[in-house]
Structure 1
Amino acid sequence: MPKRTTHEDSVCPLARPLDVVGDGWTLLIVRDAFDGLRRFGQFQRNLGLAKNILSARLANLVATGVFEPVPAADGSPYQEYVLTEKGRALFPVVTALRQWGDAWFFEDGEPRARLVDRSAGEPVAVLEVRSADGRVLGPEDAEVLLP
């Protein structure tokens, strides 16, 4: 099997993180962690993912500092996977993908999971990209400057 291309030397801030979260299973694992899952078995049951693939993805998430393995909170001999600050910083990314999926991949009235504000029970506001002065920006309003 050919070796996957790495983006570790790229000057693009989108390309480098794809080495960590560019795989769909990886983002679903992170999503599940935001939803409160912490144990290997919980991830495996929820995703239906083969154990070897889940193990490889979790190892990569630990190696890249997205998760930290910790002893199980209940004192059992298991370990749990806890999002680090770096991992928690993926929340807006996962939220944006949820909102994009909600807008473009469901028919009207089709059942779907909803992300709500835990304290108010209301849907989370749609994320927007804004300029430093607060204006909403679209793709035509931004440009990439190369070094």
Structure 2
Amino acid sequence: MLGRTYDSQVCSAARALEVVGERWSLLIVRDVLFAGATRFADFQRLGIATNVLAKRLDSLVDSGILERRPSVETHDRGGYAATRKGLDLAPVIIALTQWGDRWAAPDGPPILYRHTGCGGGIAEQTTCSICGQITDLSQIHVVHGPGMPQAQ
């Protein structure tokens, strides 16, 4: 895991990885968002040791990505649901899946994301907020944003 201090760098990607960069975290979120997983037992099918799974779920709850929901049918511990913060990870998971389909799926995509309304394929794309889609990634450059500290 990355260090927890950012004295020499200011990087939102590094900060995001501190929250969801552990190997099981995005798979847990993926299963909540796209596979209907809500209960501890649902996540055990991933093959995670129960102590590690408990820590990951606690971490995702503590970071505001998942929330615990009480069970209305039984008096047990209930389950987990994505928060708005967790739902905002859907495009990340879809983009990572697209990359995996291209570079790590020699027999083709094992799953496909589809629009429930019409059945169309779902794809994440890099777009410009002014003129539209970026077709050549060399057209992207970085500038300092408002969160970048002023040079001292």
Q: TM-score range by the shorter chain?
A: 0.7 to 0.9
| More moved, 130-139 vs 32-41 | 130-139
Q: What TM-score do the two structures reach when normalised by structure 2?
A: 0.83
Answer yes or no: is 1:118 the counterpart of 2:123. Answer: no
**8 Å contact kept, 2:126–2:133:** yes
Deviation string, structure 1 residues 4-24 (Cα, Å, up to 9, x no partner)? 612566521111111111112
Q: Which amino acid aligns with 2:117?
A: S
Please give the alpha-carbon distance, in whole angstroms, between the structure 2 residues aligned to 1:20 and 1:14: 10
Please give the alpha-carbon distance, in whole angstroms, between the structure 2 residues aligned to 1:87 and 1:29: 11
Structure-2 change in CA distance of 1:73 and 1:94 (3 Å): farther
Q: What TM-score do the two structures reach when normalised by structure 1?
A: 0.85
Aligned residues: 142
Can you give the 5+ residue segments of structure 2 that lack an aligned partner in the other structure? Answer: none
Corresponding residue for residue 135 of structure 1: 132
Structure-2 change in CA distance of 1:73 and 1:100 (3 Å): farther
Corresponding residue for residue 68 of structure 1: 67
Corresponding residue for residue 15 of structure 1: 14
**8 Å contact kept, 1:66–1:84:** yes
SS at match of 1:47: coil
SS at match of 1:24: coil
Deviation string, structure 1 residues 33-76 (Cα, Å, up to 9, x no partner)? 012100011111x2011001101111110000001111024234
Query: 1:27-46 counterparts in 2 under 5 A?
Result: 27-34=26-33, 35-44=35-44, 46=45
Q: Which amino acid aligns with 1:135?
A: G
Please give the alpha-carbon distance, in whole angstroms, between the structure 2 residues aligned to 1:8 and 1:41: 36
Can you give the 5+ residue segments of structure 1 that lack an aligned partner in the other structure? Answer: none
